[in-house]
Amino acid sequence: MPRRTGQNLAPRNRTRRARQDKGTGTAGARGWRGAERNRLAYESARMLAEQEAFGIDRARRKAAARLGIGDKRCWPDNEEIQQALLQQRRLFQAQAQQETLSDLRRQALSAMRTFARFTPRLVGAALDGTAAREQGIDLLLFAETPEDVVLDLLERGIPWQQTDGQFRYADGNVRAHPVLAFVAGDIPVHLIVLPGQALRNPPLSPVSERPERGIGEGELVRLIEDDA
Protein backbone atom coordinates (compact mmCIF):
# COMPACT_ATOMS: atom_id res chain seq x y z
CA MET A 1 0.00 0.00 0.00
CA PRO A 2 1.50 3.39 -0.91
CA ARG A 3 2.58 5.62 1.96
CA ARG A 4 0.70 8.85 2.58
CA THR A 5 2.85 11.88 1.94
CA GLY A 6 3.10 14.94 4.07
CA GLN A 7 1.16 16.78 1.37
CA ASN A 8 -1.77 14.39 1.76
CA LEU A 9 -1.70 14.70 5.54
CA ALA A 10 -1.65 18.51 5.55
CA PRO A 11 -5.39 19.10 4.91
CA ARG A 12 -6.32 16.69 7.68
CA ASN A 13 -3.91 18.36 10.08
CA ARG A 14 -5.28 21.77 9.19
CA THR A 15 -8.82 20.51 9.83
CA ARG A 16 -7.75 19.13 13.21
CA ARG A 17 -6.11 22.42 14.19
CA ALA A 18 -9.18 24.37 13.04
CA ARG A 19 -11.39 22.21 15.26
CA GLN A 20 -9.06 22.74 18.20
CA ASP A 21 -8.99 26.49 17.61
CA LYS A 22 -12.77 26.57 17.33
CA GLY A 23 -13.14 24.66 20.59
CA THR A 24 -10.71 27.00 22.31
CA GLY A 25 -12.65 30.00 21.01
CA THR A 26 -15.95 28.60 22.28
CA ALA A 27 -14.45 27.84 25.69
CA GLY A 28 -12.92 31.30 25.75
CA ALA A 29 -16.28 32.89 24.99
CA ARG A 30 -17.93 30.89 27.75
CA GLY A 31 -15.20 31.91 30.18
CA TRP A 32 -15.53 35.55 29.18
CA ARG A 33 -19.31 35.50 29.58
CA GLY A 34 -18.91 33.79 32.96
CA ALA A 35 -16.53 36.52 34.11
CA GLU A 36 -18.98 39.18 32.94
CA ARG A 37 -21.84 37.44 34.78
CA ASN A 38 -19.81 37.42 37.98
CA ARG A 39 -18.86 41.07 37.56
CA LEU A 40 -22.45 42.07 36.91
CA ALA A 41 -23.75 39.95 39.82
CA TYR A 42 -21.27 41.64 42.16
CA GLU A 43 -22.18 45.14 40.97
CA SER A 44 -25.92 44.41 41.22
CA ALA A 45 -25.44 43.08 44.74
CA ARG A 46 -23.39 46.13 45.70
CA MET A 47 -26.20 48.41 44.52
CA LEU A 48 -28.71 46.45 46.56
CA ALA A 49 -26.48 46.52 49.64
CA GLU A 50 -25.91 50.26 49.34
CA GLN A 51 -29.55 50.89 48.37
CA GLU A 52 -28.66 52.42 45.03
CA ALA A 53 -31.43 50.29 43.56
CA PHE A 54 -34.46 48.52 44.99
CA GLY A 55 -35.34 45.11 43.62
CA ILE A 56 -33.09 42.59 41.93
CA ASP A 57 -34.27 43.26 38.38
CA ARG A 58 -33.81 47.01 38.67
CA ALA A 59 -30.36 46.53 40.21
CA ARG A 60 -29.34 44.16 37.40
CA ARG A 61 -30.46 46.57 34.67
CA LYS A 62 -28.84 49.56 36.34
CA ALA A 63 -25.58 47.66 36.88
CA ALA A 64 -25.58 46.40 33.27
CA ALA A 65 -25.96 49.96 32.00
CA ARG A 66 -23.20 51.20 34.28
CA LEU A 67 -20.79 48.43 33.23
CA GLY A 68 -21.82 48.53 29.58
CA ILE A 69 -22.86 44.86 29.48
CA GLY A 70 -25.64 44.74 26.90
CA ASP A 71 -25.39 41.03 26.05
CA LYS A 72 -28.11 39.39 28.15
CA ARG A 73 -26.27 36.08 27.93
CA CYS A 74 -23.88 37.70 30.41
CA TRP A 75 -26.65 38.73 32.81
CA PRO A 76 -26.79 36.75 36.08
CA ASP A 77 -30.08 35.31 37.26
CA ASN A 78 -31.78 36.30 40.50
CA GLU A 79 -30.18 33.52 42.53
CA GLU A 80 -26.67 34.49 41.40
CA ILE A 81 -27.27 38.09 42.48
CA GLN A 82 -28.75 36.95 45.78
CA GLN A 83 -25.69 34.78 46.46
CA ALA A 84 -23.39 37.69 45.62
CA LEU A 85 -25.34 39.90 48.03
CA LEU A 86 -25.14 37.28 50.75
CA GLN A 87 -21.37 36.99 50.27
CA GLN A 88 -20.94 40.75 50.48
CA ARG A 89 -23.02 40.95 53.65
CA ARG A 90 -20.90 38.21 55.22
CA LEU A 91 -17.59 39.72 54.11
CA PHE A 92 -18.15 43.40 54.85
CA GLN A 93 -21.03 43.57 57.32
CA ALA A 94 -20.82 40.28 59.19
CA GLN A 95 -21.47 41.50 62.74
CA ALA A 96 -23.98 44.21 61.81
CA GLN A 97 -25.80 41.84 59.48
CA GLN A 98 -26.05 39.14 62.12
CA GLU A 99 -27.50 41.64 64.60
CA THR A 100 -29.98 42.81 61.98
CA LEU A 101 -31.06 39.26 61.16
CA SER A 102 -31.43 38.40 64.84
CA ASP A 103 -33.71 41.42 65.38
CA LEU A 104 -35.75 40.70 62.28
CA ARG A 105 -36.18 37.03 63.09
CA ARG A 106 -37.17 37.70 66.70
CA GLN A 107 -39.77 40.18 65.48
CA ALA A 108 -40.93 37.64 62.92
CA LEU A 109 -41.38 35.06 65.68
CA SER A 110 -43.45 37.52 67.72
CA ALA A 111 -45.63 38.30 64.71
CA MET A 112 -46.05 34.62 63.88
CA ARG A 113 -47.28 33.95 67.40
CA THR A 114 -49.65 36.91 67.19
CA PHE A 115 -51.18 35.62 63.95
CA ALA A 116 -50.80 31.92 64.76
CA ARG A 117 -54.35 31.03 63.69
CA PHE A 118 -53.45 31.95 60.10
CA THR A 119 -50.62 29.38 59.88
CA PRO A 120 -47.89 31.99 59.24
CA ARG A 121 -44.75 31.17 57.24
CA LEU A 122 -41.64 33.33 57.18
CA VAL A 123 -40.34 34.00 53.65
CA GLY A 124 -38.07 36.48 51.92
CA ALA A 125 -34.85 38.24 52.80
CA ALA A 126 -35.15 37.86 56.59
CA LEU A 127 -35.13 34.12 56.03
CA ASP A 128 -32.41 33.85 53.37
CA GLY A 129 -30.07 36.18 55.27
CA THR A 130 -29.81 39.13 52.87
CA ALA A 131 -32.30 41.50 54.56
CA ALA A 132 -31.61 45.06 55.55
CA ARG A 133 -33.55 46.37 58.53
CA GLU A 134 -35.64 48.68 56.33
CA GLN A 135 -36.89 45.69 54.35
CA GLY A 136 -38.50 44.23 57.44
CA ILE A 137 -40.13 40.83 57.42
CA ASP A 138 -42.51 39.04 55.05
CA LEU A 139 -45.05 36.55 56.38
CA LEU A 140 -47.44 34.41 54.39
CA LEU A 141 -50.82 34.11 56.14
CA PHE A 142 -53.55 31.70 55.03
CA ALA A 143 -57.18 32.67 55.57
CA GLU A 144 -60.62 31.95 54.15
CA THR A 145 -60.95 35.64 53.31
CA PRO A 146 -58.59 38.65 53.68
CA GLU A 147 -61.25 40.24 55.88
CA ASP A 148 -60.45 37.64 58.57
CA VAL A 149 -56.95 39.09 58.91
CA VAL A 150 -58.23 42.67 58.69
CA LEU A 151 -60.65 42.02 61.56
CA ASP A 152 -57.82 40.55 63.61
CA LEU A 153 -55.76 43.70 63.06
CA LEU A 154 -58.74 45.86 64.04
CA GLU A 155 -59.31 43.89 67.24
CA ARG A 156 -55.65 44.31 68.17
CA GLY A 157 -55.70 48.03 67.41
CA ILE A 158 -52.89 47.69 64.86
CA PRO A 159 -52.98 50.38 62.14
CA TRP A 160 -52.04 49.05 58.71
CA GLN A 161 -51.83 49.96 55.07
CA GLN A 162 -53.02 47.70 52.29
CA THR A 163 -51.61 47.17 48.82
CA ASP A 164 -52.15 44.43 46.28
CA GLY A 165 -49.18 42.32 45.24
CA GLN A 166 -48.88 40.26 42.07
CA PHE A 167 -47.79 36.66 42.66
CA ARG A 168 -46.94 34.05 40.06
CA TYR A 169 -47.78 30.36 40.47
CA ALA A 170 -46.31 27.16 39.07
CA ASP A 171 -49.20 26.83 36.61
CA GLY A 172 -48.15 30.12 35.02
CA ASN A 173 -51.04 32.14 36.41
CA VAL A 174 -50.47 35.47 38.11
CA ARG A 175 -52.84 36.32 40.94
CA ALA A 176 -53.27 39.44 43.06
CA HIS A 177 -53.24 39.06 46.84
CA PRO A 178 -53.56 41.72 49.54
CA VAL A 179 -50.44 42.75 51.46
CA LEU A 180 -51.18 44.31 54.86
CA ALA A 181 -48.24 46.33 56.17
CA PHE A 182 -47.57 47.82 59.59
CA VAL A 183 -44.55 48.76 61.69
CA ALA A 184 -43.60 46.93 64.89
CA GLY A 185 -41.10 49.09 66.76
CA ASP A 186 -38.97 50.19 63.83
CA ILE A 187 -39.36 47.00 61.79
CA PRO A 188 -41.80 46.86 58.86
CA VAL A 189 -44.02 43.78 58.83
CA HIS A 190 -45.72 42.64 55.62
CA LEU A 191 -48.58 40.18 55.87
CA ILE A 192 -49.24 38.50 52.51
CA VAL A 193 -52.74 37.08 52.78
CA LEU A 194 -53.30 33.96 50.69
CA PRO A 195 -56.27 31.59 50.39
CA GLY A 196 -56.10 28.40 52.41
CA GLN A 197 -55.38 26.15 49.43
CA ALA A 198 -52.18 28.10 48.74
CA LEU A 199 -50.64 26.42 51.78
CA ARG A 200 -50.20 23.33 49.58
CA ASN A 201 -49.47 25.32 46.42
CA PRO A 202 -47.79 28.61 47.41
CA PRO A 203 -46.72 31.28 44.91
CA LEU A 204 -43.27 31.15 43.38
CA SER A 205 -40.29 32.84 44.96
CA PRO A 206 -39.23 35.88 42.89
CA VAL A 207 -35.62 34.77 43.44
CA SER A 208 -35.57 31.00 42.87
CA GLU A 209 -38.82 30.79 40.86
CA ARG A 210 -39.72 27.73 42.92
CA PRO A 211 -42.72 27.44 45.29
CA GLU A 212 -41.96 29.64 48.29
CA ARG A 213 -42.94 27.53 51.28
CA GLY A 214 -40.93 29.39 53.91
CA ILE A 215 -40.64 28.13 57.47
CA GLY A 216 -43.02 27.81 60.39
CA GLU A 217 -42.67 28.85 64.02
CA GLY A 218 -40.77 25.77 65.19
CA GLU A 219 -38.21 26.04 62.40
CA LEU A 220 -37.78 29.74 63.10
CA VAL A 221 -37.15 29.06 66.80
CA ARG A 222 -34.35 26.65 65.85
CA LEU A 223 -32.93 29.21 63.41
CA ILE A 224 -32.86 31.88 66.13
CA GLU A 225 -31.15 29.43 68.48
CA ASP A 226 -28.53 28.73 65.80
CA ASP A 227 -28.00 32.49 65.37
CA ALA A 228 -27.34 32.82 69.08
Per-residue model confidence as pLDDT tens digits over 34-60: 899 999 999 998 998 887 667 889 999
Mean pLDDT of 3-21: 45
Q: What would the pLDDT profile of 84-99 be if each residue is shown by its tens digit?
A: 988 888 888 788 889 9
Q: Return d(Cα 13, Cα 136) in angstroms, integer.
A: 64
* Residues sharing a CB contact under 8 Å with residue 155, sequence separation 6 or more, in sequence order: none
Q: What would the pLDDT profile of 186-228 be if each residue is shown by its tens digit?
A: 999 999 999 999 999 999 999 999 999 999 999 999 999 988 7
pTM of the model: 0.75
* Residues sharing a CB contact under 8 Å with residue 123, sequence separation 6 or more, in sequence order: 138, 139, 140, 192, 205, 212, 213, 214
